[in-house]
Structure 1
Amino acid sequence: MRFAVLCDDPTARPLVEALDSRIDGHQLRYVVQLGPKTSQPHQGLKSATIVSRWEDLLAANDVDVVLAGGNTEQMFEGVKQLATAGIPILFVPHASQGSTFIYELSLIRDDNHVALIPFLWHRFDAAAQHLKQLLRDGALGTIQFLQLERSVSQSPSSSPIAQAAVDLELLPDADLLRWLVGDYNQITALRTAATDQGVMMARVVLSGRSLPEANWVIAPAVRPAEWKLTVHGERGTALLSRADGATSFVCDFDGQHVEGHSHTTASGLLTAMESLIQRRDPSTTAAADDPWGDLVQCFETVDATHRSVRRKRTIELHFEPMSERAIFKTQMTAIGCGLLVATFLLTLCYLGIASVVPLPRGILIALRALVFAPLVIFLAAQILLPLTRPSSNDHPTPQPKV
């Protein structure tokens, strides 16, 4: 397949290098220059033609797939237009892109039946796949819990981690845990020593029905950043780790030592991508085999951690009760509609009775009061609405404009 690159995310560098070497017969044809060459994942490539605008990809007739990623306005607009034109997108997710942009791409996928393939590199790593097979075969017995610990190099180590960096690291790790274990839908987040500058430690607990609990922890460190996932089972403990700056994992269990390799990982990712593109309608993929749907849920998981911290409780995805303000407004709307209908019907009854039966003036006044008093009381109760205004801390985290 022939590729174009609309990406400045360094995490895509291993795949770009593999494409440049024509892995499995794939070709890298075009690269869109999004910024300084030194910051691009395509620095030093030999086989690609550099273009300055994403519009050039629409005019090209030799592009089968676009590798897209980053957080620039040019990338946002380019991806939406290229996907609308029916060009498959291999998408590199980044937490700063925001769930709003991901939802927009999902709508484009549903409308145009275009293939959107998330760049979930870890899913095709040999060591990660080995761990998944161990869990599937029950080699560890009943899983008790999972502990994923990672550190971020900070100098000094007492300096906090920016919240944006926490979200950046959580996004792929959340997908890895969901891919290994199952559909986590309950999120509890805690932040230690949180300030405007960041946090000294962040912890996220993922849980779900009949699933072992997964604990995700991030903290600053002076030493090289570490990443390790420990799976505790009744029959033993498996460790999946990754060295600082490495793109591949190492899995250790019961004397077995399995290492991943970026070349085989890239080959597996491209094979899975080809399979998805060849489907007649990629948007109707079964829920059990829908990597794009999994990516959407990972963005929702990151959003849920912010709500969990703000509300100081566990958040359940897709089943979040309405706020007190929303409940009040819903109830008042229903009551108001009922009173308007009731007042109209009672007015008709009053006019009918008053025109047929001669009644004393006092009784007529009493009937009028009974008809209109409930509506007047309801309208007066609307002054209570300002009392339900949410506090400033209840406003959702703003998403980047695209």
Structure 2
Amino acid sequence: MRFALLCDDPLALPIVESLNSQVDGQRLTHAVRITPEADLLLHGLTDLRFVEHWEDLLVSKEIDAVIIGGMHPKILEGAKQIATAGIPILFIPQSEQGSTLAYELSLIHDDNQVLLWPLFWHRFDQGALRLKRAMSDGELGQIQFLQLQRTIPILTPGTPISQSQVDGELLHDIDLPRWLAGDYDQVTGLRTAATSEGLQMQSVVLAGRGLPESNWSISGSPGLAEWKLIVRGDLGVATLTRDGNSRRWIFESKQERVEGDRQQTAREALSAFAHSLSLSREAVPATSSSASSANVARGSLWGDLVKCFETIDATHRSVRRRRTIELHFEPMSERAIFKTQMTAIGCALLVATFLLTLVYLGIASLIPLPGYALIGLRALVFGPLVLFLLAQILLPLTRPSSAEKTSTR
């Protein structure tokens, strides 16, 4: 598989290094030199074609997928255009990209079924996978709670950390409890000593029906960054730690210690991406189960990323309103947006028709009008509602949702 790189995010470095070794026939063939940070990712690479603009990737016949990450406006615009062209994307998420970009790409995916595959490092790390297996196999018994504590290095005690730093770390962490325990749908956020310059500490509590409570907290601390997840069950305790900002987790329990390897994690992630791509390209699934697998490959992981962005937004609302926020995850599609817009327009027209009817009756009772004038007034009152009802025939013409497209193949 041949990859192109449109990215200046350092988190993509293990992926780039793995592609440079050309394991399993996967290799990096093209790169866009868009920022100096992007050049740092490419240091020491050979047999690579450099291009100056992402538009060059659209016309190349030698690219199977594109790795995209970063915050440069040209990168974000390139992501939307490359997805529109139907080229699969391995996406490196950042909180500053925002939920708006995630929604826009969701609509593109719903339109052309392009594979959008966000990279969740922990899902392919051996240490994190061992913790998930311990929880699902009941080794810890009934899970009571999950507690993730982490620190960000600061120069001196009391130095505030910025909200953008907090959101950046939260985006990478918030998928972990969902992946381990289930789909949390209640968010409670709390900030300590928050000012215009930053804050001293932030905590986020996740809850859901039948799920153990999950607590996440972050603060500044002199020295190295620390990251530790504690999972307590009624039969034992397990921990997951991470060294600094490395993408390597260490699982520990009374009986076992498992360490992840960054390069192995990158290879596993690339292998999973290739498998998802092969599933998404199934033109005519042989069975309903394979159709479901193809649909999951196309959209499931991207939906999880959208949930992460929505959780961050909900955390801000929770802090601002000082209450727990209920999350309602709904799939984005052109059909859903059409229905929502039509519902709002329909409600407004019903109210307007009622008010205009009262006005019409008042005018007709007070002022004697000729017959043609009364007919004209009735047309003005009821015409918009009639046109709206006729417009409903457009509903079957809107693009079907992803599930409908898959089921008809």
TM-score by length of 2: 0.79
1:338 to 349, 354, 361: 354
- Which secondary structure does the structure 2 equivalent of 1:272 belong to? helix
1:302 to 286, 308, 312: 312
Residue 144 of structure 1 aligns with an amino acid whose one-letter code is: Q
Cα drift, residue 41 of structure 1: 2.4
Q: Tell me the residue number matched to 1:173.
A: 173
Residue 273 of structure 1 aligns with an amino acid whose one-letter code is: F
Q: Tell me the residue number matched to 2:60.
A: 60
113-122 vs 162-171, greater mean Cα deviation: 113-122
Cα drift, residue 350 of structure 1: 7.2
1:316 to 320, 326, 332: 326
Cα drift, residue 38 of structure 1: 7.7
Does the 8 Å CA contact 1:9/1:70 hold for their aligned counterparts? yes
Cα drift, residue 319 of structure 1: 8.0
Residue 151 of structure 1 aligns with an amino acid whose one-letter code is: T
- For residues 258 and 47 of structure 1, what CA distance do their matches in structure 2 show? 36
User: 1:37/1:220 Cα in 2 relative to 1: closer, same or farther (>3 Å)?
Assistant: closer
- For residues 333 and 110 of structure 1, what CA distance do their matches in structure 2 show? 30
Does the 8 Å CA contact 2:280/2:297 hold for their aligned counterparts? no
Report Cα offsets for 1:73-127 as digits up to 9, x if no partner. 1101111111111110000000000100111111111111110000111110011
- For residues 235 and 190 of structure 2, what CA distance do their matches in structure 1 show? 31
Cα drift, residue 257 of structure 1: 0.3
- For residues 50 and 202 of structure 1, what CA distance do their matches in structure 2 show? 42
User: 1:139/1:345 Cα in 2 relative to 1: closer, same or farther (>3 Å)?
Assistant: farther
Residues 29-178 of structure 1: pairs in structure 2 closer than 5 A = 29-36=29-36, 40-178=40-178
User: 1:60/1:225 Cα in 2 relative to 1: closer, same or farther (>3 Å)?
Assistant: same
- For residues 289 and 252 of structure 1, what CA distance do their matches in structure 2 show? 33
Q: Tell me the residue number matched to 1:218.
A: 218
- For residues 138 and 55 of structure 1, what CA distance do their matches in structure 2 show? 51
Residues 192-211 of structure 1: pairs in structure 2 closer than 5 A = 192-211=192-211
Residue 108 of structure 1 aligns with an amino acid whose one-letter code is: I
Quote the RMSD (CA, aligned, Å): 2.7
- Which secondary structure does the structure 1 equivalent of 2:229 belong to? strand
Residue 49 of structure 2 aligns with an amino acid whose one-letter code is: T
Report Cα offsets for 1:141-193 as digits up to 9, x if no partner. 11111100110001013111100000000001101111111111111100000
- For residues 297 and 78 of structure 1, what CA distance do their matches in structure 2 show? 23
Aligned length: 345
- For residues 194 and 172 of structure 1, what CA distance do their matches in structure 2 show? 22
Q: Tell me the residue number matched to 1:400.
A: none
Q: Percent identity?
A: 49
Residue 9 of structure 2 aligns with an amino acid whose one-letter code is: D
User: 1:318/1:281 Cα in 2 relative to 1: closer, same or farther (>3 Å)?
Assistant: farther
Q: Tell me the residue number matched to 1:290.
A: 300
Report Cα offsets for 1:29-71 as digits up to 9, x if no partner. 0111121158732233234222221112122211101000000
Q: Tell me the residue number matched to 2:20.
A: 20
288-297 vs 337-346, greater mean Cα deviation: 337-346
- For residues 349 and 318 of structure 2, what CA distance do their matches in structure 1 show? 29
Cα drift, residue 255 of structure 1: 2.1
Residue 153 of structure 2 aligns with an amino acid whose one-letter code is: S
53-62 vs 87-96, greater mean Cα deviation: 53-62
- For residues 276 and 314 of structure 2, what CA distance do their matches in structure 1 show? 29
Which consecutive residues of structure 2, in runs of 5 or more, have no partner in the other structure?
Answer: 283-291, 331-345, 369-409
- For residues 38 and 85 of structure 1, what CA distance do their matches in structure 2 show? 23
User: 1:69/1:271 Cα in 2 relative to 1: closer, same or farther (>3 Å)?
Assistant: same
Report Cα offsets for 1:230-266 as digits up to 9, x if no partner. 0011011110000113221000012200111122211
- Which secondary structure does the structure 2 equivalent of 1:273 belong to? helix
- Which secondary structure does the structure 1 equivalent of 2:279 belong to? coil
- For residues 227 and 83 of structure 1, what CA distance do their matches in structure 2 show? 34
User: 1:291/1:332 Cα in 2 relative to 1: closer, same or farther (>3 Å)?
Assistant: closer
Cα drift, residue 274 of structure 1: 1.4
TM-score by length of 1: 0.80
Does the 8 Å CA contact 1:9/1:40 hold for their aligned counterparts? no
User: 1:134/1:349 Cα in 2 relative to 1: closer, same or farther (>3 Å)?
Assistant: farther
Cα drift, residue 337 of structure 1: 4.9
- For residues 68 and 332 of structure 1, what CA distance do their matches in structure 2 show? 42
Report Cα offsets for 1:202-255 as digits up to 9, x if no partner. 000011111111000000011200001000110111100001132210000122
Which consecutive residues of structure 1, in runs of 5 or more, have no partner in the other structure?
Answer: 321-329, 353-402
Residue 296 of structure 1 aligns with an amino acid whose one-letter code is: V
- For residues 191 and 83 of structure 2, what CA distance do their matches in structure 1 show? 38
Does the 8 Å CA contact 1:113/1:281 hold for their aligned counterparts? no
Residues 181-260 of structure 1: pairs in structure 2 closer than 5 A = 181-260=181-260
Which has the greater radius of gyration?
1
Residue 344 of structure 1 aligns with an amino acid whose one-letter code is: Y
Cα drift, residue 335 of structure 1: 6.0
Report Cα offsets for 1:297-334 as digits up to 9, x if no partner. 000001111111111111111289xxxxxxxxx99997
Cα drift, residue 16 of structure 1: 0.7
- For residues 205 and 280 of structure 1, what CA distance do their matches in structure 2 show? 35
